Amino acid sequence: MSHARRQVGLAAVVVVVLAAGAAAVAAPGAWTWTWTWTGTTGATTAPEGSSLSGPAAGTGAGAAPVAAGLDATNETPTRLGLGPGELTSETARPTTRLGTAVAVGDDELRVRFGRYRVRELLDSATTDAERRAAVRQILEETRLAVDRLRDREVAAVRAYRDGATDRAGLFRRLAAVHLAAAEHRRTLSELQRRADGSLTFELETEIGTLDRRLSMFRSPVRERIADGAVGDTGGEVGVSTTEEGLALETVVDGAYVREVIRFDRYRGGDGESLDTTREVVDRLGVLYPYAFTASQRHSISLVERRLFVAEFPHPQGRVRVYLNRDTGEIYREVQRLELDQVHTRSAVDRTVESLRVTVDRVDGRDPTRVRVRDNLTDNPVEATVSVGDRTVGTTTEGDLWLVVGTAPVEMTVDTGDRTVNVTVGDTGTETQAQANGRVDAGD
Residue pLDDT, tens place only, 332-349: 999 999 999 999 988 899
Question: What is the pLDDT at residue 323?
Answer: 96
pTM metric for this prediction: 0.79
* Residue extents of the structural domains in the chain: 94-234, 345-434
- DSSP 8-state assignment for residue 218: -
Average pLDDT over residues 167-176: 90
> Residue 34 carries which side chain, given as an amino acid letter?
T
Higher pLDDT, 278 or 428: 278
Confidence of residue 313 (pLDDT cuts 50, 70, 90): very high
- Report the chain's terminal Cα–Cα distance, integer Å: 42
CB atoms within 10 A of CB 129: 10
Per-residue pLDDT tens digits for 42-71 = 333 333 443 444 444 333 323 333 332 233
- Rounded Cα distance between 363 and 288, Å, is 15
d(CA 164, CA 118): 37
C-alpha torsion sign, points 415, 420, 426, 428 = negative
Q: Which of 237, 183, 259 is nearest to 214 (CA)?
A: 183
Q: Please give the average per-residue pLDDT across 382-395, as a whole number.
A: 93
Q: Of residues 384 and 57, which shows the higher confidence score?
A: 384
More confident residue, 345 or 196: 345
pLDDT, position 232: 60
Which stretch of 107-111, 159-163, 267-271, 288-292 has the lowest confidence by average pLDDT?
107-111
How far is 236 from 252, CA to CA, in rounded Å?
9
Average pLDDT, rounded, for the chain: 78
* Domain formed by 345-434, architecture: Sandwich (2.60)
